[in-house]
Amino acid sequence: MSSAAPQLSVIVPVYNAQTYLRQALDSVARQTFEDFEVLLINDGSTDESGVILEEYASADARFRVISKENQGYGATVNRGINEARGAYVAVFEPDDFLEPSAYHTLMQLALSASADVAKANYWFYWSKPQDRNQVISVVTEQMAAQPFSPHDIPEVVFGIPSIWSAVYRRAFLDEQGIRLLETPGASYQDLGFSFKVFSSARVIAATQEPVLHYRQDNESSSVNSPGKALCVCGEFDGIDAFIAQDASRSWLAPYAFRLRYDSYMWNFQRLEGELRTQFLDRMQADLQQGVNAGAYEPSLFKPHQRKNLDVILNRPQVMLRHLPAHPSAWQKMAYYTRIGGLGTALAMVKAR
């Protein structure tokens, strides 16, 4: 290992990822930006992942394997952040793959603006039945126009958590005490991390250029585990605790409440059976607690969302009965017409 610290540390948390691992690591090795180290954190894999990681570390001195017992995604990424030597860190998941210029684009953004975080768009990627990409635009035109702070564009905290299409200044993460929650077996641990980063950064630089292919057809992905839906609640409890730690963060409470509503609705609509009822009970309790605490700011909600929030708080069985799992566009229209009339349904369509 070189004695000189690299500009970038790429953290790759690996647990039983042999299927796509070589494609992922090849995409890192072929980056046009070359001043990086790669921390391959083997989280107790029981498949051939460990063998593959050692293969890449033997072939390229920039790759280093760190093996540990299985502790989960949050603890594994945090281990990488703590071991990193780079001025900036990136998180890269072992079933995705990067464009060759990905880290050149992100590091150029970060260094030119002395940014705490540099963020890019990405693609949803399917390999079956054939290769297909869909651009996901988490970076808006306004965000990409010039470097900004969350006070300039507070809506940045509403972006889909996608921590792997960004680089983060390591000293900033340390100064703010930003790490992932380490709940064993949990999912959604990028959600709290993302909120803390984008709400605390002094300078954010962004581009609408997509830099990464985010795989959608990995059956083992946590997004495909509905049984972990309640884990998202713990992430928001962590966000609330983060806000409460510092009085200067109090302005974030309404934005965290709105994000909680969005995330809970996304989860509710993909759940079925008893899980659906359990989650709705928790959703109602958590959102009511936020309203009671004064975190609800109606201006942050669209008309159909305000109407739906009222239903969740006061008539949750209406949503349980009339908004089915995995609803089609027409089923959503029928639901919002039922709870608020045609005007509310049309407002929902317009807001999409």
CATH of the domain at 173: 3.90.550.10
**Same-domain check for residues 73 and 123:** yes
**Same-domain check for residues 120 and 171:** yes
Alpha-carbon span 156 to 145, nearest angstrom? 14
Chain position carrying tokens 């309404």: 254
pLDDT of residue 1: 56
Domain boundary among 224, 251, 275: 224
pLDDT of residue 224: 46
Q: Which domain holds residue 336?
A: 228-351
**Same-domain check for residues 67 and 194:** yes
Tokens representing 295 are 């975190």
**Same-domain check for residues 125 and 243:** no
Using 70 as the pLDDT threshold, list the residues of the chain that sit under it.
1-3, 185-186, 218-227
Which residues are within 8 A (CB) of 285 and not within 5 positions of it... i.e. 6 or more apart? Answer: none
- Is there a contact between 94 and 21 (Cβ–Cβ < 8 Å)? yes
- Is there a contact between 332 and 324 (Cβ–Cβ < 8 Å)? no
Alpha-carbon span 323 to 319, nearest angstrom? 5
pLDDT of residue 221: 52
**Same-domain check for residues 17 and 45:** yes
pLDDT of residue 226: 61
In the chain, the number of structural domains is 2
Nearest-5° angle of CA 71, CA 74, CA 80?
90
Nearest-5° angle of CA 278, CA 280, CA 281?
65
Please report which helix (H) or strand (E) contains residue 119, including its range.
Answer: strand 117-126
pLDDT of residue 32: 98
Domain boundary among 158, 190, 224: 224
Is residue 2 in some structural domain? no
Is residue 199 in some structural domain? yes
**Same-domain check for residues 260 and 197:** no
Chain CA centroid to CA 92, Å: 12
pLDDT of residue 173: 98
Please report which helix (H) or strand (E) contains residue 5, including its range.
Answer: none
